[in-house]
A and B are shown apart, each in its own frame.
Chain A
Amino acid sequence: MSQSGEKSILERIASGDQQAVSDCLDRYGRLVWFLATRYNKRHADAEDATQEIFMEIWKNSGRFQSTLGSEETFITMIARRRLIDRCRRASVQPETMQLTADDAELSDLYVEDQAELTDEAMKASECLRKLSEEQHQVITLSIQQGVSHDGISRKLGMPLGTVKSYARRALLQLRDCMSRTVMVLNAAEGNVR
């Protein structure tokens, strides 16, 4: 429950509030649909994936705890994992829209207003800036654009092994950087035990 005592959408879903389903679709429907279409070229597959993701959300809503992260992150985790599992089951890499040579730069044109980002996304944004140029490029294409590592290898003319290595190390560095950021923020707020 939030500090104001008001129940979050997921908490309302967990308690069986049917109106919360509409609220959830209003707030997060576009996000899930965007992710589903990013990972599925065929419209019907994207629809199936979206249905599966929301079913997981309804089922797991009772497990959400706002102290561990935002609703948006919780929903994105469920969506991303479900989409990757679907791809793995189908033994295909995520199929994405055709990218141009300037994708990484172009994507900045569509960035959410920074003020609208969740705390976790703000931290991630800061930590992304600390990566090397190659790592930044690879992880952005991999996670944000949904391009397979094969696709990144072709696009950047980099050996596949190098792409994998950059992507994995970038994710680990981001995780460490985000953990440090949390510690610094806690220290600043006097929350360190």
Chain B
Amino acid sequence: MTPNDDLSSKRERELLAGFVLGDLSAEELQEFSESNEIRRQEDDLFRLEQTAAAVLLVNRMKTTDDMPASLRRRIQTQAEPQLQLNATAESRTDINISPRTLPDRRLSTREVFAWFVAAASLLVACSLWFSNGATSSAVSLAQARDALKRQASDLIEVAWAPGTSPFKEKVAGDVVWSNLGQNGFMRFVGMPVNDPTVEQYQLWIIDPERDDEPIDGGVFDITSTDECLVEINAKLRVDRPVAFAVTIEKPGGVVVSTQERLPLLASVK
């Protein structure tokens, strides 16, 4: 190792620690995202997250309040559909949406934030823990979607319709979503295959009760024009969705879409 290599890895370790502490500046985030080395640091990231959690547990207060009873009831109600899904699929290893891969091209600061929120948060932070949890009893996306349709008492099911900039050929399919379970799936038939190094699809959930800005529902790729299923990965809790929209964005997705290319829309009646 040369002295320069050592300096470089020291800087990357510092940036990793800053990320775990949540104190990276916009410039540091940019630097962090442009480091090829970072792609090989998931193990370190996991250990630092685990260290921070352990430090937090050393000194937590002994006498803290219980959460409000009404909140506890809501959490219990919200858990029911998810637990039903868990029962159907004891391991959800292959139905959790794949974390976004870090795009190869340079990213804007806003895109870096989008990527970190989506990928470098839970899934990457816990990747070591998670990757070791793989089992052979994983169910398919289709089975998980079927289970949601059978079990969710508040199921929303809406068909895709052309958006403001439709595809040349009609795309069929639908969205299924459960507010209680906070999960759902998109189904596409005849959707154009995208080149992830050039552009990616991104789902947006429009929920005016929750926020004026649409909620990011996850970046995804389509690899076949046959039927494709994609699990929705909402970054915020969805209260009352009125529509689901698919836009075409730069690799890695964006935090706020200009909606210049919005080929598909599914409106909740």
Name A residues whose Cβ lies closer than 8 Å to a Cβ of B.
13-18, 21-22, 25, 29-35, 37, 47-48, 50-52, 54-56, 58-65, 67-69, 72-74, 76-78, 80-82, 84-85, 87-89, 94, 107-108, 110-113, 117-118, 120-121, 123-125, 128, 139-140, 142-144, 149, 164, 167-169, 171-172, 174-175, 178-179
Contacts and interface: CB of A to CB of B under 8 A. Distances in A.
B54 A124 contact: yes
B60 A55 contact: no
Interface stretch (B98-106, B114-122, B165-173, B192-200): B114-122
B257 interface: no
Contact of B54 (A63, A118, A164): A118
B60 A120 contact: no
Nearest to A177: B51
A34 to B, nearest CB: 4
B56 A22 contact: no
A82 B122 contact: yes
19 contacts: A13-B86, A14-B86, A16-B83, A16-B88, A34-B61, A34-B64, A50-B67, A51-B75, A60-B126, A62-B93, A62-B135, A80-B52, A85-B117, A111-B58, A117-B57, A124-B51, A124-B58, A168-B17, A174-B55
Given A21-B79, A33-B66, A59-B92, A120 B53 contact: yes
B30 interface: no
A121 B88 CA distance: 35
Nearest to B123: A60
Given A82-B122, A120-B54, 6 more contacts: A68-B129, A117-B57, A124-B57, A144-B55, A172-B14, A174-B51
A120 B49 CA distance: 12
Interface in B120-176: 121-122, 125-126, 128-130, 132-133, 135
B71 A63 contact: no
Given A29-B67, A33-B64, A55-B237, A80 B53 contact: yes
Interface of B: 13-14, 17-18, 20-23, 44, 47-68, 71-72, 74-76, 78-80, 82-88, 90-93, 96, 113, 116-117, 121-122, 125-126, 128-130, 132-133, 135, 182-183, 235-237
A113 B57 CA distance: 11
B58 A54 contact: no
A87 B22 CA distance: 9
B59 A82 contact: no
A4 B131 CA distance: 25
B257 to A, nearest CB: 15
Q: Is the interface of A mostly helix, strand, loop or mixed?
A: helix
Contacts of B78: 51, 54-55
A112 B67 contact: no
Contacts of A51: 71, 74-75, 78, 237
B57 A120 contact: yes
A164 B235 CA distance: 28
Nearest to B71: A47
Nearest to B88: A16
A49 B195 CA distance: 35
A108 B13 CA distance: 30
Contacts of A74: 126, 129
A22 B76 contact: yes
A171 B87 contact: no
A143 B50 CA distance: 12
B86 A128 contact: no
Given A25-B75, A174-B51, A62 B92 contact: yes
A64 to B, nearest CB: 7
Contact of B23 (A31, A76, A111, A167): A167
A18 B20 contact: no
Contact of B56 (A59, A76, A87, A167): A76
Contact of B58 (A31, A34, A125): A125
A60 B122 contact: yes
Contacts of B53: 73, 76-77, 80, 120
Across the A-B interface, the 10 shortest Cβ-Cβ residue pairs: A16-B87, A124-B54, A120-B54, A33-B67, A168-B17, A76-B53, A121-B57, A63-B133, A84-B22, A110-B61
